[in-house]
Amino acid sequence: MRASARELTIRFHGAAGTVTGSCMELELGGHSILVDCGMFQGSRNLETLNHGAFSFDPAEIDAVVLTHAHIDHCGLLPKLAAQGYDKAIWCTPATTDLLEYMLADAGRIQESEADRRNRRRDRAGDPGFQPLYTEQDALRAWRMCRPVKLCDWFEPAPGFRARLWNAGHILGSASVEIEAGGTRLLLSGDLGPDNKAFHPDPAAPVGVDHLVCESTYGNRAREKLTIAQRRDLLEREVKAALARGGNLIIPVFALERTQELLLDLAHLADDNRIPNVPIFVDSPLASRATKVFAAHAADLEDMGDRAIFDHPSIHYVEEAAASIRLNSMSGAIILAASGMCEAGRIRHHLKHNLFRRESTVLFVGFQARGSLGRVILDDAQRVRISGDDINVRAQIRRIDSYSAHADQEELHGWIRARRPIAGSLFLSHGEPEAVEGLRALVAADDPAASVIAPRIGETWALPTGAPARRLHTGRVDLEELVGEDWQNDYADFITNLKRNLGKIRGERARREALADMRRVLDSYNAVREERRRRNTAPASRRAGRA
């Protein structure tokens, strides 16, 4: 099936059946624009998609419209620039300011990770790793930003009109309205919850032809708390953690989650509701993002007259040596990135605190399937961090009320407020069970509604006033990469192997168990090799054996 020359199409390059890697391509009359160009995050298998070739020619893209500055939405922009894209990246002014630091930091991480892998002694003689992109590539992409105010129309490419609406997710976040070929399309980006700190509730137009909505929390309803109630909850967690005598470790996203926590911690400290202990922000990126928040303070809600980000209890840790010195502390509050514990300084804080019964790890953000944070939250007894096996003895706690994402009820309400939807609703940016939870809720409202859960690689025609038509199927092979992978299973197996062997009585019995495991692996490999030989044998030989 093919689209007509004047019919808008959409192709999903990421964030379909999974939460990260947001990237959608809109095409009309030979012109194409991208909405987002984000990085895949989570399992190692899923992250390999970042290193593959784009499913399009970057030099042929006419424009990029960016919803916000989180890495799963913007993190492949430097790769795009490195491979030939040299046009505008349209986004809000605050997003432009944040990208200078977000992208540069991502480039430095790519360079340092490649350098670390190339220094490993077990890789002697192997081809060298090349960074996905460099800091220079990142800054080149940032310089392409074209700031545009909310609700101002602009023309990103011939045949396309667009404007941005407040999404209420993080500083500068936006939903994108597109008019092209007579079709009106609205893409939610990431939507914030109602009554969120700093930002007004999300806003967007009504009566569109097609709607693309995120579904991160499509199957989860959270308790609705006011900011005052949320501070009460945080107060109880902080007091309980410090009463144990250890550190309170909070994995944070450098952008927005850190600043919300600082807002609440500063209020609690000023009102003498928590002990007077140092609060460390151990993330240079979070420190820089906080400066952007301070620069936009006049546009933020809930700031009051207090200099929140300059509070005397808050200490910003820049140098690596200063970060390492925190390992010897007890009774401190430490906020460190990354929020899913997949990289950054949070990993060495976990190494030095997870095994301590007096320590507490408090999760305040979404943990993607396959991430270290998700493994810890799912009651792992041991985890593997940077090659070391760590017993999990610390208290593991969670607060959902700091989420920057709308929950099921809020997503459902936002979708209903956009009606009438003349064509189709696409549910993207969610794990399968989250997408299905939201789909079922929407279908209960209107069983005849066209509700689509796209796959990565699918292309759909978006006619005016009628349901979407699928033009190309997605990549079924990528479904295996979503969620936990064999390396998650291996880490779980190897970290518990010694303990399980210890439960076997007697030296001889333990050695027999190990020998049995070796035989299983050898037998499995022998069967696979025999199957491979049979499948590659000439047809005449296969016929003879038959």
pLDDT at 315: 96
Query: Can you give the pTM of this predicted structure?
Result: 0.83
12: which DSSP letter?
E
Show the domains of the chain with their CATH numbers: 8-221+404-481 (3.60.15.10), 227-398 (3.40.50.10890)
Greatest mean pLDDT among 242-251, 479-488, 534-543: 242-251
Q: Is the pLDDT of residue 11 over 60?
A: yes
pLDDT at 507: 82
Side-chain half-sphere CA neighbours of 284 within 13 A: 13
The per-residue pLDDT for range 137-170, each reduced to its tens digit, is 999 999 999 999 999 999 999 999 999 999 999 9
Q: Is the pLDDT of residue 543 over 60?
A: no
pLDDT at 337: 92
The per-residue pLDDT for range 451-510, each reduced to its tens digit, is 999 999 999 999 999 999 999 998 766 655 555 555 556 656 666 677 777 788 888 888
Instruction: For residue 544, name the pLDDT band (cuts at 50, 70, 90).
Output: low
pLDDT at 42: 75
Average pLDDT over residues 8-36: 96
The Cα-based distances of 504 to 104, 494, 510, 520 in angstroms read 51, 16, 6, 19
Average pLDDT over residues 352-378: 92
144 Cβ contact list (under 8 Å, min separation 6)? 64, 81, 85, 86, 87, 88, 89
Strand 154-157 vs strand 145-147: parallel, antiparallel, or unpaired?
A: unpaired
The residues pairing with 424 across neighbouring beta strands, listed in sequence order, are 450
The per-residue pLDDT for range 58-69, each reduced to its tens digit, is 999 999 999 999
Closest CA to 455 of 438, 485, 480: 480
The per-residue pLDDT for range 341-355, each reduced to its tens digit, is 988 899 999 999 999
**Dihedral angle of Cα 256, 260, 265, 268, to the nearest 10 degrees:** 170
- H/E element, 397: strand 395-398
Give the residue, 545 or 11, on which the prediction is more confident.
11
Closest CA to 497 of 517, 521, 526, 477: 517
Give the residue, 38 or 487, on which the prediction is more confident.
38
The per-residue pLDDT for range 74-84, each reduced to its tens digit, is 999 999 999 99
Percent of the chain with pLDDT over 70: 91
Task: Give me the sign of the Cα torsion angle 191, 193, 194, 197.
Answer: negative
CA distance 294 to 495: 43
